[in-house]
Amino acid sequence: MAESMHRFPGYDVLAKRDTPSWNPQTRRVIEERLALPPQAHGFFTEAEWRTLNAVCARILPQPPDRADPVPIAALLDQQMQQNRGDGFRQADMPPLREAWRRGLAAIEAEARLRHGAAFHALAAAQQDALLHSIQQGEVRAAEWQGLPVAHFFKARLLHDIVDAYYAHPTAWNEIGFGGPASPRGYVRMGFDRRDPWEAVERKP
């Protein structure tokens, strides 16, 4: 869908930057996300980075006409550098950074085993089919040993990519989200009511 056909045309959450809707802490965090270069990475190796970017593009494709795509891979790399997890760890999963390194290596190994090529070099349909197999736990590469395949897909790969995407103001514009409601909060809480500073949805 073209950017011009979004459900909230003309809405820009950054118009709230200097209003009572956001406090200084919110502004600082959002500015940091906006300033992150798309190719910035210090945790993932070059090989991991290529695989990660290709995986992100298939899990959450962005509109081709988007001038500034959400830097999903860079946000994930920043998360890995900070070792910022969920506050808990599933018993069958390795720690956050280990899980991602092992998972990306296994995805790469699976691609080479099945197609004789790196994951990022595969056609989109091949990438999708391979990711679907991982989602179902249907893999053959030895690199998956000790890593719960389907759980890795759901709890790390899918969770972290989607979480990174929807932490960015570009995604907020897409869904009409106003960002953190601090300190202003929301007043009109009834059904089909909105506050004056909320996004207006396109009517059918």
d(C-alpha 172, C-alpha 67), whole Å:
15
Domain assignment present for residue 64? The answer is yes
Name which residue leads in pLDDT, 186 or 172: 172
What pLDDT does residue 158 have?
97
Contacts of 12 (CB under 8 A, 6+ apart): 173
Name which residue leads in pLDDT, 156 or 87: 156
Q: Which two tokens stand for residue 64?
A: 């081709």
Domain assignment present for residue 86? The answer is yes
Domain assignment present for residue 188? The answer is no
d(C-alpha 120, C-alpha 127), whole Å:
8
Domain assignment present for residue 152? The answer is yes
Q: Which two tokens stand for residue 132?
A: 């679907």
Tell me how many domains the chain contains: 1
Share of the chain above pLDDT 70, in %: 98
Structural domain harbouring 25:
9-175
Domain assignment present for residue 194? The answer is no
H-helix segments, 4-144: 24-35, 46-59, 72-82, 96-115, 124-136
Neighbours of 49 (CB within 10 A): 18
What pLDDT does residue 1 have?
42
Domain assignment present for residue 43? The answer is yes
**pLDDT at residue 4 above 70?**
no
**Helix, strand or coil for residue 183?**
coil
Contacts of 192 (CB under 8 A, 6+ apart): none
What is Dmax (Cα atoms) for the chain? 57
Domain assignment present for residue 51? The answer is yes
101-154: pLDDT as tens digits: 999 999 999 999 999 999 999 999 999 999 999 999 999 999 999 999 999 999
Domain assignment present for residue 61? The answer is yes
Residue 186: φ, ψ to 5°: -120, 145
